[in-house]
Amino acid sequence: MIEVLAPAKLTWFLEVTGRRDNGWHTLRSEMVTLDVADRLEIDPGGDYLRLEGPYSGLPVDDSNLVARTLALVGRRAGVTVHKVIPPGGGLGGGSADAGAMLRWAGRVSNDQALTLGGDVPFCQMGGRALVEGVGELLTPLPYERRAVTLVLLSFGVNTAACYQAFDELTASGEHPDGRNHLERAARRAEPRLAETMDWLRATLGGRVHLAGSGSTLFVEGHLESDVSTWDVMGPEGLVQFRQTFTTPSEA
């Protein structure tokens, strides 16, 4: 049995730089990996996919990114994924698992990894990188140990709806700016996100940032010194705080 870790990814900043003829938006962003990680147990002689942990209700059919990764590299294996990364929050849970499988299988080109998803090329590499294009252009950056407080919400933001809202905003004459060009669009696509961000910023100020298209929020640094996780009730449901650090590449 082989064990590999699949670190969560965090989008530190995000700029939308254009749109291709196929409708895909080009981006410029900094991504980092975190010490929040799924754990994958790989049996090279097996042929199964199992999920364990609090998010074990996710599908385990051919649509799962672990299964798609094995198909891409032409391999079979038995894989048990111990899920820790919350799904649907923008931390790249499925992409992280795919990246871990690619590291085990011997890696593929960024263009090949991109066929699994825009975050998979970075998740295959990990660490810290400038990410451009639609996720396939990676420039490794020196590792910096950073303390981060994740703010996990009880709902997600639909990525397609977020980009549709972004296109509507730009068509109306708005110009994206700030640390995350998708923030206004995400708030428009998911009003619960807007309510929660406003509530948090009333307490914590402008330190609350949106990660990618959401719904995960984050604060640079740790808010408390004596706890690592805690939960509160926000205006739109449970809000979970989790203190973590960035990690170097798994390479």
Identify the CATH number of the domain in which residue 72 sits.
3.30.230.10
Instruction: Write out pLDDT tens, residues 205-217.
Output: 889 999 999 899 9
Q: Which domain holds residue 47?
A: 2-140
Instruction: Write out pLDDT tens, residues 111-121.
Output: 999 999 999 99
Domain at 173, CATH number: 3.30.70
Task: Look up tokens 């410029």; give the residue.
Answer: 28
Instruction: Write out pLDDT tens, residues 181-196.
Output: 999 999 999 999 999 9
134 is written with which tokens? 């639609």
Domain match, 105 and 203 both: no
Is the full-model pTM beyond 0.85?
A: yes
Domain match, 181 and 205 both: yes
145 is written with which tokens? 């140990």
Given this model, what pLDDT does residue 59 score? 82
Q: Which residues are catalytic?
A: 9, 119
3-state secondary structure of 104: helix
3-state secondary structure of 4: strand
Strands (E) located in the chain: 2-19, 25-43, 48-52, 78-82, 128-133, 137-140, 147-153, 209-210, 217-220, 229-234, 237-247
Which residue type does 250 have? E
